Amino acid sequence: MADPDCLFCKIVEGEVPAEIVRQGERTVAFRDINPQAPTHVLVIPRDHHPDAASAAAHDSGLLDALVRDAHEVAVAEGVDETGYRLVFNTGAGAGQTVFHLHAHVLGGRGLNWPPG
Ligand code: AMP
Ligand code: ZN
């Protein structure tokens, strides 16, 4: 299900390097190249889906695995107790720039609300 033109598919395949922090059965987690917080990890499905809504529509259970794995990343990073933010930007107007579903796991500092 890999898209040959997709950057994050290439990271899953090992064709583009990334600082991988967790390899799950259904997901891969790696550090964001432009971190916005002391912990900023992206958790992505191995399969290509453009966004969370598309994954929910086509692969029942995938988002459960993604959220579980994102929480395991937060535990491993030591931000589960202080709190972390899980973000799915959906659509260019909301800041999505890579159209392969990814959960941002952000933590390690105070996080303002509402987000900018
Ligand atoms: P979004 O703007 O929600 O689509 O998030 C895409 C994220 O991917 C941004 O936070 C980028 O900094 C990050 N990013 C882009 N290219 C890479 C890369 N090669 N390795 C790690 N993170 C990346
Ligand atoms: Zn992809």
- Banded model confidence at residue 61, pLDDT cuts 50, 70, 90: very high
CB of 67 sitting under 6 A from ligand 1: no
* Residues with a known catalytic role: 102
State which of 10, 85, 97, 102 you would mutate to test the pocket of ligand 1, scoring each by most atoms of that ligand within 8 A of its C-beta.
Answer: 97
Measured in Å, residue 33 CA sits from the centre of ligand 1 at 6
Q: Rounded to an integer, what distance in angstroms lies between the CA atom of residue 86 and that of residue 111? A: 11
Residue 18: give its domain's CATH number: 3.30.428.10
22 strand-pairing partners? 29
Q: Domain of 53?
A: 7-97
Structure confidence by residue, pLDDT tens digits, 65-80: 999 999 999 999 999 9
Residue 34 lies in a domain: yes
- Sheet of 27-31: strand order equals 20-23, 27-31, 39-45, 103-107, 84-87
Q: Place 2 in a pLDDT band, splitting at 50, 70 and 90.
A: confident
Whether residue 20 is contained in a domain is answered as yes
**Could you give the CA distance from residue 78 to residue 89 in angstroms, rounded to a whole number?**
24
